[in-house]
Structure 1
Amino acid sequence: MRLIKRIFWTVLSLALLLSAVSGWWVLTPMSLSTPTVDLSIEPQTPVRGIAQAVADAGVDVQPVVLYAFFRASGQSRKLRAGSYELSQGNTPLDLLRKLSRGEESLKAISLIDGWTFRQFRAALAKAEGLKHDTQGLNDDALMAKLGMPGVAPEGRFFPDTYTYGKGTSELHVMERAAKAMNKQLAAAWKLRGPNIQLKTPEEALVLASIVEKETGRESDRTTISRVFHNRLAVGMPLQTDPTVIYGMFDNFDGNLRRADLRTDHPWNTYTRKGLPPTPIAMPGRNALKAAVQPAASNALYFVAKGDGTSYFSATLDEHNAAVNRYQRKASGQ
């Protein structure tokens, strides 16, 4: 009987000691090889593999001990794949919480309303943590990989902020932005007004991109859209400088000259009537809506007033007077 009691108290003492030691260990900051450690867990990695990945990433921990802790916690089946960042001071318990809650270390890239596809690709190339796997692809090959072969890339990506984990493919970000634009364009098209000159969502996308580039003040957006609708209705060229500049590509030096307006190319809306063949930028949500819901106006012209707003005119004489007034004011004459 005494032997049984002695064994009982010995086992109990060891259990309490083990509990105290393990409790101390899970709350003790882990030693990291660098101030921060990036941890990447691939999908379907087993618990033992996760423990090994933590050690391989630069955390001074015995994988077998970490594995035992994960299993004993009851959370081992909840550990999630993803990209995580560990910092000095993080404990094994902190690590468990990150992995079980999926608290990934996310970065973000912001696409700005009015950006061109070239600017989008440049931003992707500079984005920290992305897997730069599209840099060697030309536009045609890239659009084919995105499931849109033969589609011009300009304007096909929605400007927004997209978060991603370290090692995410550039192609994945592009896919998300393309799906977002398809969704936003479809939603805008459903809201289209009755008196518009657009036959397809693609035409709406083209016009929205022009409205985006022409608008200096949000309050003018729908009226600028109406000007272009009115011009399309009477067969008048759109005569919008941003399309000419876009079609000049690398030849544009920052100054738009009269000779440029007379030089014909597919995006020159001075020499050609109708909409250009592709969008000229990434339109935002408000530009998409303005393109299909223009304001009520008989204006055919507008000119920048120099304060971010525009002056709208229904006749050429009124427009010429406004150009003379506001250009002279802008030049200080």
Structure 2
Amino acid sequence: MSSLVRSRSPRWLLWLAAAVLAAATAAALWLNRPLPLRPHSGAVVDVWIQPGQTVGQIADTIVQAGVDTPALWLHAWFRLSGQGRRIQAGSYELTAGVTPRSLLEMLVSGRQATRRITLVEGWNVRQVLQAVRAAEFLHDDLPAGDDPVALARHLGLSAEHAEGQFFPDTYVYPKRSPASGVLRQAARVMAERLAQAWAQRQPDLPLRSPQEALILASLIEKETGLEADRARIAAVFVNRLRLGMRLQTDPAVIYGLGDTFDGNLRRRDLLTDTPYNTYTRAGLPPTPIAMPGWASLLAAVQPARTRELYFVARGDGSSAFSHTLEEHNRAVRRYQLGRP
């Protein structure tokens, strides 16, 4: 009789087993149940995990951001999962339906909240900076103003002048990223694409370096948006460079006028000497005047095989090309002055 009594499990062990089972069941339910968001948090809880935070601090940050659950539970889940130390710093957006399990997977995989910014072909540095400073959740860590030299120095560019050094494209960045990071990425892409174009250059070009090709591409970019005309415009500029003729391109003159340009290019502007006035100075301008796209980069190094020396806008986005000044003057009268 006494041996049977000793073989029975004490009642407290049964209660303990039941409690453990209940806790395990509750934990399993909690891990897969959507976390409640506090009403003031809106549709999205914005969480910023800083580098160096402990697992406990991360749990506190999430709760303080607007997740309505005990931080102790999150802390315990992160620790017991064995993945707490793999959580990556960064910016995260938590939306309705996120569970403790999916939350941890998001944090460990580093699936950060991102935004996009598009840099447009033909923009100059001032326009790039305006777009960057207006971008959502992009931290402005750039020098004040829009000085291209100061910007190039701040970003550590190989070029001394930032104009034209960014490739026009759409860039994705995590929320709260520094603006300098986006521009450094755009500069790396431009360097890569410029190197690709330079490697495909015609052997007899009057261009001494990839940077000169970039300058020429920026002129082409500003002169036309028509794909069919780019190579011919490039040919006109290249032919003029070979002959020592001045390029006489209005966009460069306008760039050199800076803030004084009021939208109306006058004869006196063409006679006012600046480093960018291609009517008063021979050769290429000292820097690009805008961001060229890939098509303009390729046109600069692969101009059309033609001896044309002139072109004028027709008014419909295309250009009329001429071999001689006489032909050009006729085209100007027809398309610019409206005379037969």
The verdict on a shared fold, with TM-score over 0.5 as the criterion, is yes
Residue of 22, 26, 35 corresponding to 2:27: 22
In the TM superposition, 1:125-140 aligns within 5 A as 125-136=133-144, 138-140=147-149
1:300-315 correspondence to structure 2 within 5 Å: 300-315=309-324
Counterpart position of 1:199: 208
1:118 aligns with 2:126: yes
Deviations along 1:84-123, one digit per CA (max 9) or x if unpaired, are: 1112343323322321222211011111111000111111
Q: 2:78 aligns with which of 44, 65, 70?
A: 70
Pairing of 1:1-333 with structure 2 (within 5 A): 1=6, 3-4=8-9, 6-7=11-12, 9-26=14-31, 27-32=33-38, 33-35=40-42, 36-136=44-144, 138-148=147-157, 151-328=160-337
Q: Compute the displacement of 1:321 (Å).
A: 1.9
In the superposition, the TM-score normalised over structure 1's length comes to 0.92
Contact 1:107/1:165 (<8 A) preserved = yes
Letter in 2 for 1:20: T
State the identity %: 48
Deviates more, 1:205-214 or 1:52-61: 52-61
State whether residues 125 and 135 of structure 1, in contact with CA within 8 Å, keep that contact through their aligned partners in structure 2: no
Query: Any conservation in 1 of the 2:121–2:292 contact (CA below 8 Å)?
Result: yes
Q: Deviations over 1:139-193 (max 9, x none)?
A: 4333222224870111111111122122211121221122222222122111111
* Shift >6 Å, 4+ stretches: none
For normalisation by structure 2, the TM-score amounts to 0.90
Q: Partners of 2:7 and 2:304 in 1: how far apart?
A: 96
User: Residue 3 of structure 2 aligns with which residue?
Assistant: none
Q: Which amino acid aligns with 2:37?
A: S
Deviation at 1:7, TM superposition (A): 4.8
Q: Which amino acid aligns with 1:43?
A: P
| Deviating more after overlay: 314-323 vs 71-80 | 71-80
1:42–1:118 distance in 2 versus 1, CA, 3 Å: same
- Look at both structures and tell me which one has the larger radius of gyration over its CA atoms: 2
Deviation at 1:63, TM superposition (A): 1.8
